[in-house]
Amino acid sequence: MTTAVALGIDIGTSGVRIAATDQHNTLMAMSVAPIMAPITDFGRAWQDPQLWWNATLAAFAGLKLDGLHVRAISIDGTSGTILAVNADGTPASLGSMYNDVCEAAKLAKIAAVAPRDTAALGGTSPLARAMELAGQGTRILHQADWVLGKLSGRYDVTDENNALKSGYDPITRYWPSWIGKAGFDVALFPTVVPAGTKIGNITAEMAAQLGLPTTTAIVAGTTDGCAAFLASGASDPGDGVTSLGTTLTLKLLSAKPVFAPEFGIYSHRIGEQWLAGGASNTGGAAIGAYFSKEDIARLTPLLDPNVPTGLDYYPLPKPGERFPVNDPNFQPRLTPRPADERVFFQGILEGIARIEAAAYAKLGQLGASPLKSIRTAGGGAANAAWTAIRLKALGVPEKPSLSEHAAVGTARLAWRGIGHAN
């Protein structure tokens, strides 16, 4: 007896991960293969797209599908990574990576005509880099689009999430006319479909090479960030996911979109819902400026979430904040410093928790759905005392995360593409 599964392919910065999940989001198999580091030349970040595909094939080779029947595949890629391709899908350029800094002249052309709330602005604008690639090949694709094409034979389609930073308008669901005024022919971009849309089946050649059924559906994917959110299992407006890493990153599922570029906030469309997010400079780096990993391990059991310190800290590793305050000169606030290092440590954790609560409240003030539940990812998720402090500040219940692997979230999209919402 076989189990039906969908595959999510996550093309990350350093490797490719493939997850096979059943209809209940249970992980049935997983495989990982590394990608070589990006090529950097004269300050640019470029990578040979063949490396992405080689890593994808290697991940498939390590994927144990015994007893599993693959129904659908979807792909997520790094947001903003693009390349030029020929009509048959062969690369006509190196991949311009998500962190590739583009020409100032192209940015100026965009800034002169673009609305302030577009995600296509900024020094790493994919649209500006697409303008540089125009004339190479016949089409400009995003990283996930190209891998999708390798599987489906279609190099003319992208999803609404990958298209966002290239200037796509998720509200009108069109490539806007101002892109042409900036000097770029939108016909070079693919047709845009909602994330989770079936766009065809795997080619017979690729099915034979990978040992997959020819009936395997290929489903339009998403960006790595959106996939990570979907991997958490969040599905209702008001579901929030906080990543406690070097910085504090928040994502909130909302019934309405939020666009606040001054805070770095844009909204991805996922079905008829919206994913809004923001990032504060507080987080692990702020903690690490005062405490080593050994200090944290020693002091954590001594924390008492039921007895607040009363310290009013705003922990930052250095001056400057993005969200919920937008001020490049915003000063850290870490005084007075008590003699008891346990109290100081707890005061920092309380300060980060207040920033997290203020950030979700700010999203609500900007028009997003109010926070109703929280899931946590990142290294800080395992700290039970910090979790208790955060939940008091947030005032909402915690829910367990389904997975921290973006590939699992992409597999959820694959299931949606064949009519199984999960």
Q: Kindly report, residue by residue over 181-191, the tens digit of the pLDDT.
A: 999 999 999 99
Q: Write out the H or E segment, with its range, that includes residue 295.
A: helix 293-299
Instruction: Report the C-alpha gap between 55 and 50 in whole angstroms.
Output: 8
DSSP 401: -
Q: Which of 275, 290, 262, 277 is nearest to 222 (CA)?
A: 275
Band (pLDDT 50/70/90 cuts) for residue 38 is low
Q: What does residue 167 show for φ and ψ, rounded to 5 degrees?
A: 110, -5
Burial class for 421, CB neighbours closer than 10 Å (0-12, 13-18, 19+): exposed
Q: If you write DSSP's letter for every residue of 161-227 in order, what string do you get? A: HHHGGGT-BTTTTB--THHHHTT--GGGSPEEE-TT-EEEE--HHHHHHHT--TT-EEEEEEEHHHH
Per-residue confidence (pLDDT) for residue 102, from 0 to 100? 87
Lowest mean pLDDT among 14-18, 34-38, 270-274, 360-364: 34-38
Q: Which of 3, 6, 5, 19 is nearest to 414 (CA)?
A: 6
Query: What would the two tokens of residue 321 be?
Result: 């904040």
Query: Cβ distance 278 to 392 under 8 Å?
Result: no
Is 298's pLDDT higher than 90? yes
What pTM did the predictor assign?
0.92
Q: How many CB atoms lie within 10 A of CB 324?
A: 20
Instruction: Report the C-alpha gap between 161 and 224 in whole angstroms.
Output: 10
Per-residue confidence (pLDDT) for residue 422, from 0 to 100? 78
Per-residue confidence (pLDDT) for residue 40, from 0 to 100? 66
Query: What would the two tokens of residue 229 be?
Result: 């959110």
Work out the average pLDDT over 130-145: 97
Query: Cβ distance 389 to 307 under 8 Å?
Result: no
Is 42's pLDDT higher than 70? no
Pairing of strands 273-280, 248-254: antiparallel
Whose tokens are 């290239």? That residue is 166
pLDDT in tens, 90-117: 999 999 999 898 889 999 999 999 999 9
Q: What does residue 314 show for φ and ψ, rounded to 5 degrees?
A: -130, 90
Mean residue pLDDT of the chain comes to 95
Cis peptide upstream of residue 324 (ω within 30 degrees of 0): yes
Domains and CATH numbers, the chain: 3-228+406-417 (3.30.420.40), 235-394 (3.30.420.40)
Looking at the DSSP bridge assignments, the partners of residue 85 are 91, 139
Question: Is residue 165 helix, strand or coil?
Answer: helix
Query: Cβ distance 422 to 24 under 8 Å?
Result: yes
Per-residue confidence (pLDDT) for residue 370, from 0 to 100? 98
Per-residue confidence (pLDDT) for residue 44, from 0 to 100? 83
Show Cβ contacts of residue 349 under 8 Å, excluding neighbours closer than 6 positions. 287, 303, 385, 386, 389
Is 43's pLDDT higher than 80? no
Q: How many CA atoms lie within 13 A of 92 on its CB side?
A: 17
Is 41's pLDDT higher than 70? no
Query: Cβ distance 144 to 222 under 8 Å?
Result: yes
What percentage of the chain reaches a pLDDT higher than 70? 99
Burial profile 129-167: b = 16 or more Cβ within 10 angstroms, e = fewer: bbbbbeeebebbbbbbbbbbbbbbbbbebbbbbbbbbbb
Q: Write out the H or E segment, with its range, that includes residue 293.
A: helix 293-299
Is 39's pLDDT higher than 80? no
Q: How many CA atoms lie within 13 A of 306 on its CB side?
A: 0
Question: Is residue 99 helix, strand or coil?
Answer: coil
Whose tokens are 């389609």? That residue is 157
